[in-house]
Amino acid sequence: MLFPLSTLTLLTGYATASQPQRLWPSPQLDALDAARFDQSGFNGNFLMVFTGLDRCDNFLFGGGSTGRSNAADWIRTAYHDMATHNVTDGTGGLDASIRFTAEKSRPENAGDGFNNTFQVLSSVANRYVGFADSLAVAAVLAIENCGGPEIAFRGGRIDAGEPNAPGVPQPQEDLETHIAAFTRQGFTPTEMIGLVACGHTFGGVQHTFFPDIVDELNDPEDMEDVAHFDSTSVNFDNNVAKEYISGSTQNPLVVGFNDTTNSDKRIFGSDGNVTMNSLASSPSLYASTCADLFARMLDTVPHGVQLTDVITPLPVKPANVEFTMANDTMLLGGQVRFWNHTEETAGTVQMLWDDQLGAIGNTTLGFAGAGSATGGKYTSAWYGFDPTGSPFASLSLDPAAGIQRLRFVIDGKLEDQGGVGFAVQDAYMFSESSCLYNSSVSPEGDVTASGRVDIAVRNGVNLTRVYLETVTQDGEGRIVIVEIDIPRPEQRIAVNSAYSLWSLNTTSVDEFTIGAEIDGQTYSTTQLRSVLDSDFLPCGV
């Protein structure tokens, strides 16, 4: 349905939401928002969906009852990565340097949990949320979804290009050495006690890597011989402090057979048990203390790294927005998330849009699915950009009209980011005229192919450059974007009355997005594509 732009005055009957703290789109912040808050359910985070973090006793790298958990590995990895920080010279900190073999192989980093963690993160890290940010997200999700408090999360960490200097405290070191190490990291002796007590609500010590601390347990429910720090090792609670104060603890770093490695006993008792008594007597104090210390731990980064503000969820956030040209039809796919809503509270949801011809479009959106975060504390309602709500369906549009910006009406309230709307660009997009010349698979399983990538560009737009973007890693394992320019056509090849084609022949089978420079601004599409996709029909068909 289309109606004149003047009809916008009729929309003032809707209640209008206040402008959010940040505006969509902001690719990095939107990606951090998704990693942080789209945890379970529709569009759920890979860390939650693939690893089964909704079951906090789950361990991805072992069958049966291993005595280990993903959550414990992720939190330990985050601390060990941060522990290289030096407040004096600004080096070290949470920068994913522990992914380097030279750092992982140090005695201070014994165990396979670091390899396990980065094997998972390699499927999560992307151009906007690198390995260091992904590690911080993993720790936050582990804490929050296993009974812990909400953690103030910031993004913007920069992945290290080399190992950091040694500096992780070790169990056999004396108290003075531990105090010096935590002071170097930026924590006081009291905060040292708190951070150790917070981290040791999860996990334990494994015999395989620490035989001088833990004996073989011969426990069929603990096949990897993990002596746990407390009796609830897969849940966040203050039992590590309560059991220590009551004298009932089995913490192997408190009551271990080798007193030289009873580092928790020395740390916990270093102030006469004042801090541990406080943490043991008040679950709420323990939770708030840990929320603060965990956030500070994750925000400890090398000098010069500028973190974002604390990431908060946008009340209304479009996602996976993608235009596609199909001959004489423009297709718009995507979804929109309504934070702290359910299908019932959202009611009827409408999407409005301003087109390029001065009219307004309107459609009712269908419910696509529900999401949740922080162990179910928060819910979100997702709607697809068409009446069915299907995440695979698209809205059909007139290419000449296109779209400039979106607005939404939910439960009778207009959501338009304080009047500016949700800006989208239809200046360029993938064209379904793209095609596959040929493909083959060698006996060794190597795939080769060649195809043509067509990009539809709106006539009259000041577009100076279009290129394919492929995500890869440099020699130090940092995520980088490789750009392949698409040549400007010598003659106009019309797709329809409003768009023309830019084309590139390629033999790459790597996934790509499409970038462009328009009026001095840089844009990128969201959907990953490859010439091997079903979108690429055989050329000439």
pTM of the model: 0.94
pLDDT at 70: 94
Indicate whether 76 and 141 sit together in one domain.
yes
- Residues 470-515 pLDDT 10s: 999 999 999 999 999 999 999 999 999 999 999 999 999 999 999 9
Q: Kindly report the backbone phi and psi dihedral angles of residue 449, in degrees, each rounded to the nearest multiple of 5, phi listed first.
A: -165, 160
CB-count exposure of residue 354 (10 Å: 0-12, 13-18, 19+) = buried
Which residue among 394, 425, 456 closes a domain?
Answer: 425
469, exposed or middle or buried, with CB in 10 Å at 0-12, 13-18, 19+? middle
CATH number of the domain at 474, please. 2.60.40
Q: Residues 228, 266: one domain?
A: yes
**For the chain, how many structural domains are there in total?**
3
Burial zone of 139 (CB within 10 Å; 0-12 exposed, 13-18 middle, 19+ buried): buried
Q: Is 138 helix (H, G, I), strand (E, B) or coil?
A: helix
Domain that holds residue 165: 27-298
Give the residue-averaged pLDDT of 382-407. 92
- Percent of the chain beyond pLDDT 70? 96
Q: Are residues 406 and 471 in the same domain?
A: no
- Angle between helix axes 131-145 and 27-37 (nearest 10 degrees) is 30
Measured on CA atoms in the order 243, 247, 250, 255, is the torsion positive or negative? positive
Q: Which CATH number belongs to the domain containing residue 200 in this structure?
A: 1.10.520.10
Judge whether 362 and 11 are in contact, CB under 8 Å: no
pLDDT at 48: 84
- Same domain for 410 and 511: no
Residue 372 belongs to some domain of the structure: yes
pLDDT digits (tens, 9 = 90+) for 128-150: 999 999 999 999 999 999 999 99
Note the pLDDT of residue 8.
Answer: 39
**pLDDT above 70 for 390:** yes
Per-residue pLDDT tens digits for 36-61: 999 999 999 888 876 777 789 999 99
